[in-house]
Amino acid sequence: MKGVAKADLPTKVCAVCGRPFAWRKKWAKVWDEVRYCSEACRRRRGD
């Protein structure tokens, strides 16, 4: 088995909905800047 178990990945809490979300490979270079779990929450951030 290769890779890392999802339980071992770093997590954050979404600034809009408050749900925890896990690290994704596409966020590897900008993980410190990621604040929202999804595009929908990013769009709702001003409400």
User: pLDDT truncated to tens, each residue of the chain (47 aa)?
Assistant: 577 888 889 999 999 999 999 999 999 999 999 999 999 999 998 76
Q: Please say whether the beta carbons of 21 and 34 come within 8 A.
A: no
Instruction: Please compute Rg for the chain using Cα positions.
Output: 12
Cα 22 to chain centroid distance, Å, stands at 5
User: Could you tell me the pTM of the whole model?
Assistant: 0.78
β strands within 1-47, DSSP E:
11-13, 20-22
- Write down the pLDDT at residue 47: 63
Tokens standing for 37?
């779990």
Residue 29, Ramachandran bin (φ over 0: left; ψ between -120 and 50: alpha; else beta): alpha
